[in-house]
Amino acid sequence: MNEARSGLSEHKCTVAIGRDSEESACMWLLKKDWNIERKNFRSRHGEVDIVAVKGNILAFIEVKSMNRCTLNDLQHVIGAKKRHSIIETSKLFLAMNRKYNQYRIRYDVILVQGNACVRHMEGAFAEHDEAE
């Protein structure tokens, strides 16, 4: 029973770290004149942490906590399957929000350590990237 509780406790902690990182990323984006259109947009394919707009750019943003990964780990953390999930989820968002049809679409990654954005990787991946 303790193992089950430990696993549940660890999951809650991981979720809290993720939510805190996403909130830090949103605050950082707002300071950089981005508008947050949606947080945690979900579909049957997966979830996009943040959907943000700046000028004519609509960015689908994955937030990663540097407490849990390093730059060297990033390729494994956001592998082909995760990228595909984000892209498919973004397509549903676009189908539901046609007002963004003329926007340039971009897939970004924001790395957060503690409560600070340490790196914004603009155009971190694209729909037509080769599968791993």
Please check the confidence at residue 24 and state whether its pLDDT lies above 70.
yes
pLDDT of residue 132: 45
What does the pLDDT look like over 59-116, one tens digit per residue? 999 998 876 555 565 665 688 899 999 999 999 999 999 999 999 999 999 998 877 7
Q: Provide the terminal-to-terminal Cα distance of the chain, rounded to the nearest Å.
A: 39
pLDDT of residue 1: 47
CA dist 113 and 119 (Å) reads 9
Query: What fold, for 2-125?
Result: Trna Endonuclease; Chain: A, domain 1 (3.40.1350)
Please check the confidence at residue 12 and state whether its pLDDT lies above 70.
no
pLDDT of residue 15: 67
- Pinpoint the alpha helices (H) of 63-119: 74-77, 80-96
Please check the confidence at residue 10 and state whether its pLDDT lies above 90.
no
Q: Is 42 exposed, middle or buried (0-12, 13-18, 19+ CB in 10 A)?
A: exposed
CA dist 121 and 86 (Å) reads 15
Mean residue pLDDT of the chain comes to 84
Residue ranges per structural domain of the chain? 2-125
pLDDT of residue 20: 84
pLDDT of residue 127: 87
